[in-house]
């Protein structure tokens, strides 16, 4: 229930606590100690890590923030508990983590490119040397975004370098 959940800490603990109590009362699972809200919360905090895979938000509360653009996701920390799982499950969890990491890199690259483009446009507007036709077609972002979407295995570092090279070529063409 913890792994890949996007719920904030309080809602995740509520959900796990309710489900555990429901299954204990139904006899589905048998526990030697009483399950308390505090014990469930401690387990979640000790065994899980909430990570943002989207756009960072300054001052965000890691435990409770629900901003959609942050793409929050809980991950189980590879503790002794996870090493007891079958190897196929461990492999599946590792693959999912790697995919989320790649997605995070790609979102960061696209976001960085868009911010750089905005800063460059604002600088040119202040200097009074901007050609508005250049900004209307958004050739860089459209072409590169499509490439990013089509090539699932694109290395984010290569992608960032391509964006920088393309921006430099376009800048030389306009300014030089």
Q: How many domains does the chain have?
A: 2
Q: Specify if 133 maps to a domain.
A: yes
Q: Specify if 4 maps to a domain.
A: no
68 and 112 belong to one structural domain: no
Expressed as residue numbers, the domain containing 59 is 9-84
77 and 142 belong to one structural domain: no
Secondary structure class of 9 (helix, strand, coil) = helix
- 45 and 65 Cβ atoms separated by less than 8 Å: no
User: Could you write out the three-class secondary structure of 15-28?
Assistant: HHHHHHHHHHHHCC
Cα–Cα distance between 117 and 140 in angstroms, integer?
9
pTM (predicted TM-score): 0.59
Q: Specify if 1 maps to a domain.
A: no
The tens digit of pLDDT for each residue in 47-80 reads 889 988 888 788 889 999 998 888 899 988 866 7
The pLDDT of residue 108: 85
The last residue of a domain, from among 35, 52, 84: 84
């Amino acid at each position: 229930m913890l792994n890949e959940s996007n719920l904030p800490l309080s809602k995740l603990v509520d959900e796990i606590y309710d489900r555990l109590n429901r299954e204990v009362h139904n006899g589905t699972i048998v526990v030697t100690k009483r399950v308390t809200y505090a014990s469930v919360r401690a387990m979640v905090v000790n065994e899980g890590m909430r990570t943002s895979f989207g756009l960072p938000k300054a001052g965000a509360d890691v435990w409770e923030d629900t901003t959609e653009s942050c793409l929050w996701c809980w991950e189980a920390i590879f503790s002794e508990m996870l090493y007891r799982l079958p190897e196929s499950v461990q492999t599946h969890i590792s693959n999912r983590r790697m995919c989320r990491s790649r997605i995070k890199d790609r979102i960061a690259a696209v976001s960085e490119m868009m911010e750089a483009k905005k800063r460059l446009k604002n600088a040119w507007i202040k200097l009074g040397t901007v050609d508005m036709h250049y900004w209307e077609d958004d050739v860089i972002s459209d072409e590169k975004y499509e490439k990013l979407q089509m090539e699932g295995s694109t290395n984010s570092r290569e992608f960032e370098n391509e964006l920088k090279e393309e921006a430099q070529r376009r800048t030389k063409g306009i300014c030089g």
